[in-house]
Amino acid sequence: MSARLEPCVSIDFDSSALDEVVTKAKDWALMHGVCMRSRQNFSPDSINFAPFVLVPSTFPKKEFEKAVELQTLVNEMIYRIANNYDFLKTTLAITNTVDPFTAQLFKIYTTVQEEGVSQDIALGLIRSDVMLGAEPEMPLSSFKQRQVEVNTIAAGFGWLGPASGHLHRFVMQELGHGDLLQQLPENNALEALCGGMLKAWEIYNQPRAVILFIVEETTYNICDQRFHEFEIRKLNPNVRVVRRSLTQLGKGGAVLDAERNLIVDGQEVAVVYFRCGYAPDQYPSADGCEWDARLMIERSKAIKCPSISYHLAGTKKVQQVLAEPGFLERIFDDAEKIAKLRDVFTGLYSLDLNEEGDRAAEMAIANPEKYVLKPQREGGGNNVYGKEVAEVLKQLKGNPERASYILMDVIQPPLLRNWMIRPSTQPMLVDTLSELGIFGVIIGNSKEILYNSMGGHMLRTKIHTANEGGVAAGLGALDSPFLVEL
């Protein structure tokens, strides 16, 4: 028996009532850009609505507000790690010996550190993801958020987050619950993230310079990038956005001039916003041209979002080390801040090839269902769950490569019944669980923080039997929180 939350309104519809509201909601989504490109039937000329749950998910107000309040501190934590070369070097030393991808990123980091950085200011558009932890016997009021991870590169849903809230407002009104809309919190994620990019652009102070989005060769989550571009134009009509892949840039699409200005097709770049570059398959060319592009960008005067140091600050290994006793104390000298951050951490364990790592591995082999095994990867679909945790750890016994993983306690969110709506599929009434993401915007140089703010939220919900809830990957769905006092 798992803990449960009650749906925000009755979802027992007869088939014709269900059909009516679902059809209308799908059209609303399609006509308001709550959409993605189809992986199955890809065409650059069409989009599908993105999977969503029909009504917003009940979420404890207290925990939502706590997450919102904590965000500027999470931002500061990432800022402090990113500006601490020694900390990153020590923390990732072993990882770099066994994980070639992290090692490549680290090589770029060391190269620019040794050369001297040309742009001391970095922009962080980050997202801290949490789930409610709930034991079956726990009273609803004691559900407590646990941090899943902090994303420091390509943190998506700045558009789809608020858009889901708008969709749910429409659905709630259609269902005759317009009186409950005040329980759907405001969400200014798109303005906040794009505002952050524009602030960085202003700091760069070159009126003709552009903002460069680094994108995939094919972007499926297109609305969540284009709406950012349109919002930038809306907020400042003088700022142009250009989109390029790392491959295009690496094959001659970008150059550094003598002053280390980054030039793309004759246009100087003020801000580089990475929506790609966090996974090995995003560096596909045998000649390493994508890596050349990444290094070129890092060497340039453009303000990076993220800089390589913010990217590294978001690795799973850093997250695990920060949870070790005494490590937050190396980053902060404020006991209250430390306590607030530690309060949302869950059990994280090193799997380095030493006694401590052996103990963690044995603990997980004995009780694999209680842990998640995570490599140094982003973007979903990389983690190991359940019985497989034991199998993988047994195979890795005595193998230094075990250190490329970290181990984490499984967080068990309460279940909630909802209708899952997916393209070309009948609505499904399922038990779901959710992950809340809070956005943060931080701008700083190596000496001080220049801007630090919370930046809206997103909620992703998945069928409870799925290990991971990537919306584009096909197991998750867009959602928005419906705040309740428990």
**What are the residues binding ligand ADP (CB under 6 A)?**
129, 148-149, 372, 374, 377-380, 382-383, 408-411, 435, 468-469
Closest residue to bound ligand ADP by CB? 411
CB 5 within 8 A of CB 171: no
> Between 112 and 410, whose beta carbon lies closer to ligand ADP?
410
Which residue from 450, 452, 456 is spatially nearest to 191, judged by alpha carbons? 456
Amino acid present at 173: Q
Given the structure tokens 């390509």, which residue do they identify?
A: 154
Q: Distance between CA atoms of 457 and 158, rounded to whole angstroms? A: 8
* Total residues belonging to the chain: 486
Residue whose entry in the numeric block shows the structure tokens 């989009």 = 47
Cβ closer to ligand ADP: 88 or 411?
Answer: 411
C-beta separation of 460 from 434 below 8 A = yes
CB 131, min distance to ligand ADP, A: 6
CB of 312 to ligand ADP, least distance (A): 14
Question: Minimum distance between the CB of residue 468 and ligand ADP, rounded to whole angstroms?
Answer: 4
Output the smallest distance, CB 447 to ligand ADP, in A.
30
Q: Which is nearer to ligand ADP, 21 or 415 (CB)?
A: 415
375 forms bridges with which residues in the sheet?
405
Identity of the residue, 99 or 149, whose beta carbon is nearer to ligand ADP in the bound complex: 149
Shortest distance, position 323 Cβ to ligand ADP, whole Å: 12
**Could you tell me the smallest distance in angstroms from the CB atom of residue 210 to ligand ADP?**
29
Nearer to ligand ADP, 391 or 468 (CB): 468
Q: How far is the CB of 126 from ligand ADP (least distance, A)?
A: 13
Q: Which of 149/268 has CB closer to ligand ADP?
A: 149
Cβ neighbours of residue 353 closer than 8 Å, sequence gap 6 or more: 398, 399, 400, 402, 403
For tokens 């969110």, the residue is: 413
- Which of 94/408 has CB closer to ligand ADP? 408
Q: Which of 340, 251, 256, 242 is nearest to 298 (CA)?
A: 256
The token duo for 386 is: 């359940």
Looking at the Cβ atoms of 196 and 413, the one nearer to ligand ADP is 413
Task: Judge if the upstream peptide bond of residue 306 is cis by omega within 30 degrees of 0.
Answer: yes
Closest to ligand ADP by CB, 299 vs 462, is 462
Q: How far is the CB of 113 from ligand ADP (least distance, A)?
A: 25
Write down the least CB distance from residue 84 to ligand ADP, Å.
22
Of 380, 332, 303, the closest CA to residue 129 belongs to 380
Nearest residue (CB) to ligand ADP, 302 versus 407: 407
Q: Is the CB of 104 or the CB of 236 nearer to ligand ADP?
A: 104
Minimal distance in Å, beta carbon 393 to ligand ADP?
Answer: 16
Within a 13 Å sphere around the CA of 331, how many CA atoms are in the beta-carbon half? Answer: 33
Tell me the backbone φ, ψ of residue 193, rounded to 5 degrees: -70, -45
Q: Which is nearer to ligand ADP, 148 or 215 (CB)?
A: 148
CB of 79 to ligand ADP, least distance (A): 20
The amino acid occupying position 131 is M
- Closest CB 475 distance from ligand ADP, rounded Å: 9
